[in-house]
Amino acid sequence: MLILGLAAAGARAEQALQDLRIGLEGDRVVVSIGYSDPRAGEVLAALEEGLASEIQFQLRLYRRQRAPFAFLGDRLSSELSLVRTARFDRFERRYRIQSPGAAEVLFEDAGGFLEAFFALGPLALGALGEGDTAEYYVQSRVRLTPVKIVYPLQLITLFYPQASSPWLRKELRR
C-alpha cells in the first residue's frame, strides 16, 4: 500500500508544470513563477473540509565557477524560500492566503484563489556581482502540500512524502 502511495505521488509530481521567468532590473535578478498542478482540486477539497494547504517556492541564483576552481562547483549567490499557507473561512466564504511578512490576501472565488496561490512574483532574487551576466543561472522548485497536517500528526507525512517539482534551471541572459 505504501509503495502504491509513493508511486502515485511521484506520478502526480511529474504532471505538474512550472513556468520560470527571469529578467534583469539594473543589476537585480527578478523572478516570476507560474505553477500548475493536477492536485489543485485536492487543495480546494481540503480547504472546504476546514484543513489548510501549503506551497513552498524555492529559488536559487548561481554563478558558474571558472577554471582553475571549476572543480569546486558553482557558487550560490542568493537563495530564497517562500512558504504560503491557504485556508478557507466558512463564515465569510473566502479563501485566505498567508505568507510570512506579508498581509493576508482574501479571495471570493476559487479560480482567483488558485491563480494567486500557484503564482509567485515578480520578486527580486538577488543582485549580480561583477562579471558577465551569462555566468549566472537560476534554479527553482515548488513543493505542494495539499493537506497541511498540524504538529502532533505530522508523523503521518513520513508515509506520504511531499511531492515536489524537479529543479528547473534557466540561464540568465541580458
Side-chain half-sphere of 33: how many Cα atoms within 13 Å?
32
pLDDT single digits (tens) 129-154? 777 777 889 999 999 988 887 655 55
Instruction: Give the C-alpha separation, 130 to 127, whole Å.
Output: 10
Q: Give 10-residue mean pLDDT values along the chain (174 residues).
A: 40 67 90 90 92 94 79 84 94 93 91 94 86 85 84 52 75 76
Instruction: Give the C-alpha separation, 157 to 146, whole Å.
Output: 12
- Assessment of whether the complete model's pTM goes beyond 0.85: no
Torsion of CA 106, 107, 112, 117, to 10 degrees: 40
Do 2 and 159 contact (CB within 8 A), yes or no?
yes
